[in-house]
Amino acid sequence: MKVVFLEDVPKVAKAGEIKEVADGYGRNFLIPKKLAVPATPGVFNQLEARRRTQAKKQAQIEAELIELAKKLAGKEVILKAKAGAKDRLYGRVTSADIAAELKRAFGVAVDKRKLELAEPIRQLGSYEVSIRLGKDITPKITVTVTEEGAG
């Protein structure tokens, strides 16, 4: 029996795939649990329409991410922190601090997990940080850490 999977079924198929399954497995398990439907021409048309709408949504999301990347590329974020001897910070600057400053300074909300910061910043100075917005969309910003009370 040929079925079209509506949801991912581990080790069997992903949503949208068309597969040949045993008659009993399809009739007694997949179809009653609404994991799959029998493969008919009408189902193929619905599946194709769903793929087109998902492709449109994905293209729109990607366009928004590219626009955001253009907005962020080359920006400089200045953070102030207390520092001691040899320009060493008392605390540290984390990706959460950088994300909060981006939101405050530019009005752009970026998830702290999208910031590619190998380890927290513990020294004064300038650092280049990448923001992983999408698959191939990674704008770079400059993070400058200055001493609190200076300049």
- pLDDT tens digit string along 48-73? 888 899 999 999 999 998 998 898 88
- DSSP codes of every residue in 136-149: S---EEEEEEEETT
- State residue 55's pLDDT score: 92
- State residue 26's pLDDT score: 93
Task: Report, as ranges of residue numbers, the positions in the chain whose pLDDT lies below 50.
Answer: none
- State residue 15's pLDDT score: 86
**Running DSSP on this structure, what letter comes out for residue 9?**
B
Give the strand pairing for 125-131 and 36-38. Answer: unpaired
In one letter, which amino acid is 102?
L
Q: Which domains does the chain have, with CATH numbers?
A: 2-68 (3.40.5.10), 72-147 (3.10.430.100)
H and E: helices and strands count for the chain: 3, 9
Q: Compute the chain's Rg from CA coordinates.
A: 25
- State residue 150's pLDDT score: 57
CA distance 114 to 131: 6
Cα–Cα distances (Å) from 125 to 62, 95, 145, 150, in that order, read: 33, 16, 5, 13
- State residue 122's pLDDT score: 92
| Token reading at 32 | 């009653």
- State residue 10's pLDDT score: 92
